Amino acid sequence: MNKVDVQRYISSGIIESYVVGLVSATEAREVENAMAEFPEIKAAVEACRQDMERYVQLHSIPPPKGIRKRLLEVIENEDSLEGEALLPEELREPEPDEAPAGPGFSWPAISPERMLQFALALAIVLLGISLFLNFRYASRYKIYKQKYDELVTVHQQATADNQLIQAKLQQAQGELTLLKNPAFTWTRLNGSGKHAGQFITVCWNPASHEAFVLAQGLPEPAAGQQYQLWALVNGKAVDAGVFETGQLSSSPQKVKAIAAAQMFMVTLEKKGGNDTPSWNQVFLSGRISS
Amino acid sequence: MRPSLTYTEAELVQGLKARDEKVFSYLYDHYSPALYGVALKIVNDENMAIDALQEIFLKIWRSAERYDADKGRLFTWMLNIARNTAIDMLRSRAHKLDQKIRELGDGTVFLEKLTVQQSIDHLGLSKVLDQLNKEQRVIIDLAYYRGCTQDEIAKLLDIPLGTVKTRMRNAIIQLRNILKQV
């Protein structure tokens, strides 16, 4: 800047604007740099300031009396907590983290406001914990409920299985008792000719007339057909009932009571059996050993 | 209103930096009317101005180390603190007040309470204010007491942005001429 430039700068209005606080921070730095470099500019700024300050001082009003005393109290006690408390909030030192260690133990002074803040913060924290636990226990409850339901189902299944097994056991025990009873006679009926190798066993109590069939060795009949047992007494065939083969043949099947017999015979009949045997369909026969 | 100095400026600065309470009392006695006048004119509310004045003096007391004599006189520095403190306070409270008014509803009109206070040199003041024309008075007050930006002043006075600085210069030159006669 030469002399002319300096004059132009002074008369541009930037100085007055700077003094009344109208310029931006960048412009203010510019003016301050110019002041440092050019005494004329510094003098112009100073003159303008004095004008403004005289104008401002015309607005002087004595402040209310008590303020001076209060301010002096604050600055006299400014290193103590009491002095700090007198300050407007904006000017207080940040509160120390811990209460100063005094002789013995003493509670740090807590204002009611602070207390409320603590209480509120605590309440919020507790609410948060409660919500968290609610959520946790709710999901745990769900898991346990599910596990409980599963266990109930398993238990029911086990009970049902147990009942089935009990029933089977009773049946097996019944069969065992039957087979151990010396009153029963055992007769094996064998096939001959095209039925060679086929067989069943008939178990008969001549005293009680009870009769059972163990149909282990017969082929599965065609649909609509069933094997029928006959008791032969003096060459006459008496119906002793139909019986099943296949899966049901593994345990003794009760057939009709037989009052008397010298021989047994098995024929293949229509399902449900016939009143008289089909003599061309005789599969097996066996004499009762006495 | 130039106070008769018993301290030189350098002594005042030194005393303030050394936390001399006598210097503080002296500064308060000599400058509190000027600083209170600034605060009151800015915030236009006595209670707020009292709060502002206390804050201003405590800032002066506590930030004395930041005063740099190369940048200006002590009084200039103190006035800047006063002005900035009061404008900040006004802005933060105006913001809160604004919210309150909005809460009350649109029907409420906020009327600025006018503080009637007699300045110490009210004859001098009215003489100056009489001789400044309205635009000159307004442009100085908007910038100094309201903290308006150039943009805001250009809009408020409905003048081009580029002429704000020259208008400001003319207003202050006029002020200078009037002050010579007072």
> ipTM score here?
0.85
pLDDT of residue B103: 58
pLDDT of residue B153: 92
Cα dihedral sign for B124, B127, B132, B134? positive
Look at residues A179, A187, A177 and name the one whose alpha carbon lies nearest to residue A290. A187
Distance from CA of A41 to the nearest CA of B (A): 13
The answer to whether B108 and B159 are in contact (CB under 8 A) is no
Whether A154 has its CB under 8 Å from any CB of chain B: the answer is no
pLDDT of residue A109: 64
Residue B12 corresponds to which tokens in the numbers above? 């005042």
Q: Which helix (H) or strand (E) holds B120?
A: none
Cα–Cα distance for residue pair B10/B38, rounded to 1 Å: 24
The answer to whether B120 and B1 are in contact (CB under 8 A) is yes
pLDDT of residue A104: 42
Tens of pLDDT, residue by residue over B9-19, are 999 999 999 99
User: Which residues neighbour A108 within 8 Å (Cβ) at sequence distance 6 or greater?
Assistant: A98, A99
Residue A215 one-letter amino acid: A
The answer to whether B131 and B178 are in contact (CB under 8 A) is yes
pLDDT of residue B49: 93
The answer to whether A191 and A199 are in contact (CB under 8 A) is yes
Greatest Cα-to-Cα distance within chain A, rounded to the nearest angstrom: 162
How does the average pLDDT of chain B come out, rounded?
A: 85
Nearest to A49 among B33, B76, B166 (CB): B76
Q: SS3 breakdown of chain B: % helix, strand, coil, rounded to 5? A: 75, 0, 25
3-state secondary structure chain A: CCHHHHHHHHHCCHHHHHHCCCCCHHHHHHHHHHHHHCHHHHHHHHHHHHHHHHHHHHCCCCCCCHHHHHHHHHHHCCCCHHHHHHCCHHHCCCCCCCCCCCCCCCCCCCCHHHHHHHHHHHHHHHHHHHHHHHHHHHHHHHHHHHHHHHHHHHHHHHHHHHHHHHHHHHHHHHHHHHHHCCCCEEEEEEECHHHCCCEEEEEECCCCCCEEEEEEECCCCCCCEEEEEEEEECCEEEEEEEECCHHHHHCCEECCCCCCCCEEEEEEEECCCCCCCCHHHEEEEEECCC
Do A57 and B71 make contact, defined as CB atoms within 8 angstroms? no
Cα–Cα distances in angstroms (integers) from residue B37 to residues A47, A63, A163, A166, in the given order: 22, 8, 104, 108
Do A57 and B147 make contact, defined as CB atoms within 8 angstroms? no
Question: Model-level pTM?
Answer: 0.53
Which residue from A minimizes the CA distance to B16? A75
pLDDT at B99 over 70: no
* End-to-end Cα, chain B, rounded Å: 12
The answer to whether B178 and B130 are in contact (CB under 8 A) is no
pLDDT at B111 over 70: no
Whether A91 has its CB under 8 Å from any CB of chain B: the answer is yes
pLDDT in tens, chain A (290 residues): 787 899 999 999 999 999 999 999 999 999 999 999 999 999 999 999 999 999 999 999 999 989 999 999 988 887 666 555 655 555 555 544 444 444 444 455 667 788 888 899 999 999 999 999 998 898 888 989 999 999 999 999 999 999 999 988 888 887 777 778 888 888 999 888 888 888 898 989 988 898 988 888 888 888 889 999 999 988 889 999 999 887 666 778 889 999 888 999 999 999 889 988 988 888 898 888 76
A85-94, A103-112, B90-99, B138-147: which is most confident: B138-147
pLDDT of residue A182: 85
Tens of pLDDT, residue by residue over B53-89, are 999 999 999 999 999 998 899 999 999 999 999 999 9
Cα–Cα distance for residue pair B90/A188, rounded to 1 Å: 121
pLDDT of residue A81: 60
Residues of B with CB below 8 A from A91's CB? 55, 58-59, 62
**How distant is the alpha carbon of residue B129 from its chain centre?**
16
Residue A2 corresponds to which tokens in the numbers above? 């030469």
pLDDT of residue B107: 41
pLDDT of residue B128: 87
pLDDT of residue A47: 95
Classify strands A263-270 and A282-287 as parallel, antiparallel or unpaired. Answer: antiparallel
Residues of A with CB below 8 A from B168's CB? 13, 16-17, 20, 22
Look at residues A250, A262, A234 and name the one whose alpha carbon lies nearest to residue A200. A250
pLDDT of residue B125: 86
pLDDT of residue B104: 55
